[in-house]
Structure 1
Amino acid sequence: MTASAGGKFNRLLASIALGCALLLSPIAAAEDSVLPLPKPDVNSIDEDSDKDTLESVLDGPPRPALTPTITPYAPSNLPDAGPFNQFGDEGALYLVAKLTEEGEPLSRGVAWRVYSEPKEGDGKLEMVASAAGGDAEFRLDPGSYLVHTAYGHAGTTSRITVKKGVDSRTIILSAGGLRLDAELADHLPIESGTVLFDIYETEFDTRGERKIVASNVRPGEIVRLNADTYHVVSRYGSVNAVVRADMRVEPGKLTEAIIYHNAAMITLKLVKEEGGEALANTSWSVLTPGGDAVVEATGAFPSFVLASGEYHVVARNNSTNYSRVFNVETGLDREVEVIASKGIGELSDSSLAQ
């Protein structure tokens, strides 16, 4: 290669090098303007954060029949905290509730209440936050809190420690439902009167009484309860048509039961003759065959639901007593007449039929 040719070749190489430098320099400048993402602080990672013991305040004496379960939960819509703590000195606590571990999160009907730990020697609980519906989000200062989760009459209270940053938990209620209905014996429908149910715990307290859980429950109403065995009292009317039964509520299930009554609606009348008009200003006493009082009333047409069996009724009008014996048959709603005739003493159903 001649010297002239060699010079041209060197100048060509120099031009190419200069062009490459001009092309690459903007990219290099752009890279220098991008701030590097911060690396996570490995010292701030708590490997046991999900293993913290979240004990129930009910674990102490007296010990509850059920222990609440709290497990980690990560909702899909958790906000991305990014490289900076957007909550400042607060912690974000996300809570959901389930009936069972395998069940779906409850989307409605859940009531959340958050209480601060009672101060030493004080013993008072101060509610610092509450929510209702399905899942809940609370922004709380780091510390220990008591969280009460209620779903109808089912509920549990747990102690949760809140730290800076985001935490999420699932509370397992271990609860189910109870739906009650009532019929007369032989599957006859109840067409008159009112049936109400009271639900009690099965255990007796020191006074020999059961603690009531739910009262005046109507037929067909679903009652949400902790999984357990309950004592159910079915009241047909307000006198003595009462049936009792123990029932078990299973977690995540609806327990349905029908309670059968032996009773009827009875209307009392004091008349001068059979089929006559009822006399006003009459006082009534219904007694057992042994003379124990069952119910008392005043009026021309008192009506009661009475359990099947034999009764003695006394009617008092114008300072005179009239009485008779009658029977109540299951499902046979009827009027019972007492005849206010001189010389008539105690009458029974059979004697009036003669």
Structure 2
Amino acid sequence: MQAVRQRFALWLGVVTWVLAASVSGSSAQELAPPLSTDLAAPFSAALSSDALPMPPAPKPHPDAPAEAAETPIENLLDRAPEPLFSDTLVPYAPSVHLNPAGAPAENQGALYLMARLNRDSQPIEKGLIWRIYSETTNEEGRLELVSTSEGGDAEFRLDPGVYLIHTAYGYATAVNRIVMGRDVKSKMVTLNAGGLKLEAALTEDNAIKKGPLLFDIYGTEFDERGERKLVAQNVQPGKIIRLAADTYHVVSRYGDVNAVVRADIQVIAGKLTEATMHHKAAGITLKLVNAPGGEAIANTSWAVLSPGGDVVVEANGAFPRFVLASGEYEVIARNNGVNYRSDFEVQTGNDREVEVMASDENTAVAN
């Protein structure tokens, strides 16, 4: 029993001494053994940020907006294709008329088409006519029309196969071949076209604003019969005609007789060419009268002759009117079996009446 008490007293004394040392500020390092090298290294590594295990990324809520990230180019469905100036095909998915999955129908490909006048012009927004033909012919030996579209850019859903794309912008056209699969493609068509605006005038300050004025546009080359290819006919003045870039032979007709002028005009791709053609002509009204300034005699037939005797124009009535090229003419009026003749001159821009006197001195024999 005495031994137990001694051991308890010794234990109590040690505890009391330790507590006293702590209170007096003794270093814990002096009391505790140092960490061994084998234990300290793993502990230090555990404190390194590189060694800390990363927690798993939280799963987004189904209604939460998607995180901003770089979008692969092939998934950019909300922008137009990059401008192309050649026939190179590039993948593209249009932003409209797609199924909910953002892709064409399972068994079809998508084709997006745009066109421009030349390499430096903006895409055409209206006035285009697109026609898609199958490359194979039908039983009649003709290409089958698959689809059409009008306006600016166009989008088509096509079965896999080979097609011909016919693009028309006024009288300017282009044909391209394309092979379609079940993917999405785009094509920029360069038409190499421009515009032509035609006017006419009698003098520099006397433009022809009214009257029977029309233009015909021809190609400059002749065929095997020596004829030019007619491109556009009966074109009104001031109207813009869309044409492929080239040189054209333009015929301006003022009236229906002989007031005709011709010119070769060049159309430049991407440009509007404005041309004014000058006529030497005037409007002439014929009257058969019994006295100067008198009333016109009805039931009269007319023949206007050139100085060489060739018939220029014929007509019937009391007041026939013509547009004639400047120059000298002979006119013969026939009434009640009697022919009356007179000479007159046409001066450029001088519209006037020509009176033929129904008198014995003006009678003539005309064939």
TM exceeds 0.5? Answer: yes
Question: Deviation per CA, 1:194-232, whole angstroms, max 9, x where unpaired?
Answer: 211111111111111111111111111100000000010
DSSP-derived class of the 2:105 partner: coil
Q: Which one of the candidate residues 100, 105, 111 is aligned to 1:87? A: 105
* Corresponding letter in the other structure for 2:298: A
- Note closer, same or farther for the CA distance 1:303–1:242 as it changes in structure 2 (3 Å cut): same
Cα drift, residue 345 of structure 1: 3.8
TM score, norm. by length of structure 2: 0.72
Deviation of 1:250 (Å):
0.4
The SS at the match of 1:117 is strand
What is the Cα-based RMSD across aligned positions, in Å?
2.7
Q: Which residue is 2:357 aligned to?
A: 339
Sort the Cα spacing of 1:315 and 1:30 in 2 relative to 1 into closer, same or farther, 3 A: closer
Structure 2 residue aligned with 1:152, among 170, 194, 199? Answer: 170
Residue 131 (structure 2) pairs with residue 113 (structure 1): yes
Verify: 1:169 aligned to 2:218, yes or no: no
Instruction: Tell whether the 8 Å contact from 1:112 to 1:130 is kept in structure 2 after alignment.
Output: yes
In structure 2, the partner of 1:322 is 340
* Residue 250 of structure 2 is aligned to residue 232 of structure 1: yes
Q: Distance in 2 between matches of 1:271 and 1:83?
A: 85
Q: 1:257 aligns with which of 262, 275, 278?
A: 275
Question: Displacement of 1:122 after TM fit?
Answer: 5.2
Check if 1:306 corresponds to 2:320: no
Partner of 1:188: 206
Separation (CA, whole Å) in 2 of partners of 1:77 and 1:84:
9
Larger Rg, first or second structure (1 or 2): 2
Measure the CA separation in 1 of the matches of 2:107 and 2:121. Answer: 34
Partner of 2:87: 70
1:259-274 matched pairs, under 5 angstroms: 259-274=277-292
Please state how far the C-alpha of 1:273 moved relative to its aligned partner. Answer: 1.4
Distance, in Å, in 2 between the alignment partners of 1:170 and 1:226 is: 17
Letter matched to residue 183 of structure 2: G
- For structure 2, list consecutive stretches of 5 or more residues without a partner in the other structure: 1-52, 61-71, 73-84
Stretches of structure 1 that go unaligned for 5 or more consecutive residues are 1-23, 32-39, 41-67, 347-354
Q: 1:78 to 1:326 in 2, by over 3 A?
A: same
* Residues 155-174 of structure 1: CA deviation (Å, up to 9, x unaligned): 11121111211000100000
Aligned partner of 2:196 among 178, 184, 198 = 178
Q: Distance in 2 between matches of 1:290 and 1:118?
A: 60
Summarize the Cα distance change of 1:82–1:242 in structure 2 as closer, same or farther, 3 Å threshold.
same
Code of the aligned partner of 1:101: R
Distance in 2, Cα, partners of 1:73 & 1:30 = 36
Identical positions, percent: 57
- Letter matched to residue 237 of structure 1: G
Query: Which residue type is aligned with residue 309 of structure 1?
Result: G
2-structure distance, mates of 1:244, 1:84 = 56
